[in-house]
Amino acid sequence: MKVKATMNHRALRQLSNTQIKVLVMTADAVKTEVMNAAVVPKQTGELERSGHIDHSLAQKGRVKLVYDTPYARRLYWHPEYSFRQDKNANARGRWLDDWITGSNSSFAKKAFQELYRRLNRGTIQ
């Protein structure tokens, strides 16, 4: 029995390029999900507004959700603080833990899969 296989290099290249786009889109979806959950401490809103996606290493498969204020690290690593909950009802320290190891830990994986399928519709059967 002989089998002949041919590779569609254009389609493989498209799948590889889509992975990078979807990685950034997934990070943005996680950021949106965190904002909607109202877990980031909020007084003036500057901490929440400073949240952005660092996609400088996306080619290597790494993206970061960064909160860039002088006090972000202090607030994140000290969940014992008494956070105001009048503006964000679920405000707390370590606000990303649910998406890292907690109840929403599968969110990023599912979002990546769905976005990857959606962007490659027609390439992936």
State mean pLDDT over 37-51.
95
Helices (H) and strands (E) in the chain, counts: 5, 2
Lowest mean per-residue pLDDT among 12-16, 45-49, 57-61, 72-76: 12-16
Q: In the prediction, which pLDDT does 13 show?
A: 85
Percent of the chain exceeding pLDDT 70 equals 97
Domain-located, residue 21: no
Task: Supply the pTM of this predicted model.
Answer: 0.86
Q: What is the mean pLDDT of the chain?
A: 92
Are 123 and 16 within 8 A, CB to CB?
no
Domain that holds residue 73: 34-119
Domain-located, residue 9: no
In sequence order, the 6+-apart residues with CB closer than 8 A to the CB of 95 are 34, 39, 40, 41, 76
Q: If pLDDT is split at 50, 70 and 90, which confidence band does 54 have?
A: very high
Give burial (CB, 10 Å; 0-12/13-18/19+) of 16.
Answer: exposed
DSSP-assigned beta bridge partners for residue 67? 51
Q: Per-residue pLDDT for 69 more than 90?
A: yes
Domain-located, residue 24: no
Structural domain tally of the chain?
Answer: 1
Q: Per-residue pLDDT for 85 more than 90?
A: yes
Domain-located, residue 107: yes
How far CA 118 is from CA of 21, 32, 115, 123, in Å, comes to 12, 19, 5, 10
